[in-house]
Structure 1
Amino acid sequence: MNTHLQLQLNHWLGRDPDPVSRAALEAMVAAGDEAALGAAFSGRLEFGTAGLRGVVGPGPMAMNRLVVRETSAGLGAYLASHVKDAHSRGVIIGFDGRHDSRTFAHDAASVLCAMGFKVHLTATVAPTPLVAYGVCHFHAAAGVVVTASHNPPQYNGYKVYWENGAQIIPPHDAGIAACIDRAANEAIPFMDQSEATKRGLLEWLQQDFFEGYRRAIKHSALLSHHTRPDSVAMAYSAMHGVGAEMALTLLKDAGFTAVYPVAAQQQPDGDFPTVKFPNPEEAGAMDLVIAEASARGAMLACANDPDADRFAVAVRRDDGSYRMLSGDQVGCLLGDYLLSLSPKPQLVGKTLVSSGLLEAIAGHYDGRCYTTLTGFKWLMNTAQKLQTPSCPFLFAYEEALGYTVGHLVWDKDGLSAQLAFAQLTAALASAGMTLWDRLEQIYRRHGFHHNCQVSIALGADTPNIGEALRAAPPSKIGGRKVNCCEDLKWLTKRYADGREETIHLPASDVLIYHLDGDEALPHSSARVIVRPSGTEPKIKCYYELVLPMAEGTSLAEVQRLAETTMDQLVTAHQASLPH
């Protein structure tokens, strides 16, 4: 073992409080596995705008108790220097049902209490949206959720909310990361929970806190439109996560009596035994809840992801089969519903890779729609800046199944989104309509919007696709003329006629191409987005095709035409990319 690695290992073992982690490292040493040791100490798990997320294991490149303690010490140091009255306002901490989450959350609380912070710690597992709610409820300096959301079982994470209740954005992410780096070389303060409780620094959040969120939802004007909720039957899955109790309670409060939970997935289980991947977007993840819905003859098959900040739904069709709605379809249905209930202009938001349909819907209701970079951290921080008394924030969504209704929670909330969607379904049913009918109405008004996504795995010899496209900008894609290109790296929007505009977004390595119609469909339009993945060695391509719905044309006909046309566009674009 080289000297540098030996010094790193000794430094770590002298600080690691976890006998399991220590034993794992000692086993690597005993086996002479320098490759594994080198990987464990090859750097540090990066703290970014989503906090931390990684595989649980030993060393600074993994999620473990020492990393959590150092992260908490760094967070505390940053809060103390950047948030007024941070110690007395304190930090709210919650955790999901993964195997290490409770321990990690308790470690974080003990470090922050030792630094003099008031800590509000949930006594049991908590859905992520409740912690975001709690930041504003307690007027806290920050919030922490120990969760890996819908990642595989071996993962865990440490998500941070700022004092405004939204996820952190620059410069706070880099500032906290710098403080963590310093904490990694200093003694970490730690206070026993009994001592912290005795000193009044640690407050255990019991059922009354959960009841507070429940009451706030119950009294929300946006979630109080009860139109024969007993007419809608729905199956529900918590996906082995922490959402079941609150999700079922909120539905019951709103009068939904025909709700059928999937028993095998109702209780938190960090092994996620009935799904290969606990993400409702993944193939097979919704199988059990769709089977439950089918057995009950229910209209909806609904699910939250394991920390309940996302919402997924499959809807029964006339032939008795179920079809998943895309995140864009759910987002536009909810946006249309909520805007239709609002008497004055409202602010709604979407991410740049989400459908442009919400913007058209907002215009129909004299509302305002804003667009941000991908991620709810951008959606919510931007909403707080843009909303005004004459145009308050109403709703935002991203196509990856994230939605927020109103400003009770400044992050995605799968619990309130599910309730709003159930109320929309009931309102339509009372008018003799289905969700499919409503979608068709929206498409006939604004055009049929069809979206898809393709990921390209990058090899070691794959050229930089973004730079290649910038060096040789395409004038056509799939036979369609590029009428303008938005380059978010340089924040410029260039039109085919030579005009240029400045883009007012944070810089990001994203290219957006707006396309005209082609010879076969001259009145159609399309959009192609190319960006690198933020978490994997991949390039992601997002496609949107908009077709007018001629009178007398059925929804099924337009859908078939859109799918065929989209296949052609995707094939042509993928073939044109540098390989």
Structure 2
Amino acid sequence: MTWQKTYEQWKQFNGLDAQLKTQLDEMEQHPDVLEEAFYTDLTFGTGGMRGVLGPGTNRMNKYTVRKAVKGLAMYLLENVEGAKEKGVAVAYDSRYMSAEFALETAKVLGANGIRTYVYESLRPTPYLSFAVRHLGAAAGSMITASHNPPEYNGFKVYNADGGQTPPEQADEIIAHVNSIENELEIDVLDQKELEAQGLLKWVGSEVDEAYLHELKGIVKNQNVIDEQAEDLKIVFTPLHGTAYEPVLDGLKQLGFKRVYVVEEQAQPDPEFSTVESPNPEEHQAFEKAIEVGKDVDADLLIATDPDADRLGVAVKNEDGEYTVLTGNQLGTLMIDYLLSQTKPLPHDAQIIKTIVTTEMGRAVADSYGANTLETLTGFKFIGEKIREFEVNQNGSFVFGYEESYGYLIGDFVRDKDAVQAAMTACEMAAYWKSMGQTLYQALFTLYERHGYYLEGLQSMTLKGRDGIEKIQQIMNHFRELDAEKMGPFAIEAVEDYQSRTRTYASGESETIQLPDADVVKFQLSQDSWCCLRPSGTEPKIKCYFGVTSNSYQESEKRLAELKEAVVSQMNAIIESPTY
């Protein structure tokens, strides 16, 4: 069916939601916008289904959500014994339509005889992961678009282990979703009928309390917290999202006394009105926290994204100014702290990172005798590895992380968890304060010991059908690149994760022992690397860079040279009308 016919199907549908119908009428004046909304269907990526709100098959709305949920229901009934009774846990964040989409999820699942456990008010993503495990649910769904702009929302699917669905499961769900011909005609039950039949159960504080009980277990050194509780000053901002109560409850439980909240950003706000982007990866998100930090002379500033699965931290540098640590830096500090404080350290201690995350964490782990495993980008793969350790009894999970500010310490959750990470960051700051150092000083101690590892990211947004084509052209260019050098760096090996092949400069090749993915990574001389991948949830292509040397200045120089060598090629393709 052409996009025009799909559009006509929506336009003629008598039961179309009134708000969506009004928006559809307005879109008729903009054919390009109309085509963008209908030319394709939203698909699952590394973070599930995510898109701009509005009418259309390529938009987030009640009908595309229903289609995704129907596909999930079909998968569960076909593959999970007792799925109807086990049910599905559902949580939602502070975005537009999040609560409505959570209820739509229950309506579709209920029409298929599957019970749904829906949180009675907004909760963070890690609470959803925990709830799936705690309730023994067959699956879970989180309604969130993480740190995307306000016009976005999303639908993330979790399996019975509490982790995001890995590729094999996701592919089966997607196959069911794609088998549904008309998203407008999916059966639903209304809320009262669901409640009357016991198919909709509301989840309250009892699961929160169970989570907080588990949270106590990640503490490594309560004594140092007790010693520093009155002195360590913490500024916290939830960036208008879901973390306000969870983080404050956690810090209170651990005993921290000097916690200052950025009040302007404390309340949920789907517009995220005080920031350009509610993303703790971006330094502008810390502007308000820095103001409060200066007023109270805070030791560290912590910020969570809207669904509280990512944590950013800012600390004072050598000049007394607040600087935001990168996700790689904070992750490396956590590895060092957790391994140094875990006594005795299991002989099979495991650190898990993604292929685009710093190699410095591996160097630190090696120094403690811990093993480091790599996964593809996406925390679902880290969750998979934790499950493998349990089933095969071949590893003791200590820490999992990715460069994009995602961390996990306690495996009672199987997704990145900013609440856990906030507790560990504050405990770590208390420890280093007791040693007379800031986290910034501790980081540079690690640099001196292991080398000056620096990383960078170049992210390019290319919207629409033309953007998708340009992204694929860039990937094809680097996949087929016939060169011996990348700037001043010799190319030692090319890793094509689509074909799962690692090819060395000598011409020899070997199989990559990871699932296939649209990723190309270059292993370069001087312990450097770069990696390109399209985003699975946004119209972006991302290029990651990593270098190391014996000095910070030299590493900065190498990073700039590597970035220039790669980005110049990317820009040439984007700017070329005929590439």
Contact 1:13–1:22 (CA under 8 A) maintained in structure 2 = no
CA change 1:15–1:55 in 2 (3 A) is: farther
Contact 2:51–2:60 (CA under 8 A) maintained in structure 1 = yes
Question: 1:572 Cα deviation (Å)?
Answer: 3.6
Deviations 1:383-402 (A, max 9, x none): 32245546311111111111
Q: Which amino acid aligns with 1:214?
A: L
| 3-state SS of 1:110 partner | helix
**Alignment partners' CA distance in 2, 1:382 and 1:89:** 24
**Alignment partners' CA distance in 2, 1:202 and 1:162:** 19
CA change 1:137–1:466 in 2 (3 A) is: same
1:20 aligns to what?
Answer: 19
**Alignment partners' CA distance in 2, 1:3 and 1:410:** 40
Q: Does 1:491 align with 2:490?
A: no
Question: 1:105 Cα deviation (Å)?
Answer: 0.6
CA change 1:256–1:470 in 2 (3 A) is: same
Question: 1:456 Cα deviation (Å)?
Answer: 5.0
Question: 1:100 Cα deviation (Å)?
Answer: 0.9
CA change 1:308–1:247 in 2 (3 A) is: same
Question: 1:423 Cα deviation (Å)?
Answer: 0.4
Contact 1:130–1:210 (CA under 8 A) maintained in structure 2 = yes
1:189 aligns to what?
Answer: 187
| 3-state SS of 1:284 partner | helix
**Alignment partners' CA distance in 2, 1:390 and 1:382:** 10
Match of 1:431 among 432, 435, 439: 435
Superposed, 1:521-532 pairs within 5 Å as 525-532=527-534
CA change 1:261–1:137 in 2 (3 A) is: same
Contact 1:16–1:66 (CA under 8 A) maintained in structure 2 = no
Q: Which amino acid aligns with 1:564?
A: K
Superposed, 1:115-154 pairs within 5 Å as 115-154=112-151
CA change 1:534–1:7 in 2 (3 A) is: closer
Question: 1:153 Cα deviation (Å)?
Answer: 0.8
Question: Could you tell which deviates more after superposition, 233-242 or 64-73?
Answer: 64-73
Match of 1:543 among 542, 545, 556: 545
Question: 1:138 Cα deviation (Å)?
Answer: 1.0
Q: Does 1:561 align with 2:554?
A: yes
1:173 aligns to what?
Answer: 170
1:98 aligns to what?
Answer: 95
Question: 1:13 Cα deviation (Å)?
Answer: 4.9
Match of 2:490 among 468, 478, 481: 481
Match of 1:506 among 507, 515, 518: 515
**Alignment partners' CA distance in 2, 1:574 and 1:4:** 35
Deviations 1:76-114 (A, max 9, x none): 111110111111110001111112111111111122122
**Alignment partners' CA distance in 2, 1:210 and 1:43:** 39
CA change 1:16–1:272 in 2 (3 A) is: farther
Contact 2:221–2:341 (CA under 8 A) maintained in structure 1 = no
1:214 aligns to what?
Answer: 212
Identity score, percent: 36
Q: Which runs of 5+ in 2 are unaligned?
A: 574-579
Deviations 1:440-489 (A, max 9, x none): 23222221101112235667778934444444432223333333332323
**Alignment partners' CA distance in 2, 1:268 and 1:64:** 21
Q: Does 1:255 align with 2:259?
A: no
CA change 1:371–1:15 in 2 (3 A) is: farther
Deviations 1:352-373 (A, max 9, x none): 1110111112211221111111
CA RMSD of aligned residues (A): 2.5
Match of 2:370 among 339, 355, 367: 367
Q: Which amino acid aligns with 1:131?
A: L
CA change 1:568–1:181 in 2 (3 A) is: closer
Question: 1:28 Cα deviation (Å)?
Answer: 4.5
Contact 1:347–1:391 (CA under 8 A) maintained in structure 2 = yes
2:452 aligns to what?
Answer: 448
Q: Which amino acid aligns with 1:239?
A: L
**Alignment partners' CA distance in 2, 1:198 and 1:515:** 62
Q: State the TM-score, normalized to the length of structure 2.
A: 0.90
Q: Which runs of 5+ in 1 are unaligned?
A: 518-524, 549-557
CA change 1:5–1:479 in 2 (3 A) is: closer
2:576 aligns to what?
Answer: none
Q: Does 1:383 align with 2:386?
A: yes
| 3-state SS of 1:59 partner | coil
Contact 2:314–2:323 (CA under 8 A) maintained in structure 1 = yes
Which structure is richer in relative contact order (CA contacts within 8 A, separation 6 or more)?
A: 2
**Alignment partners' CA distance in 1, 2:19 and 2:337:** 51
Q: Which amino acid aligns with 1:45?
A: L
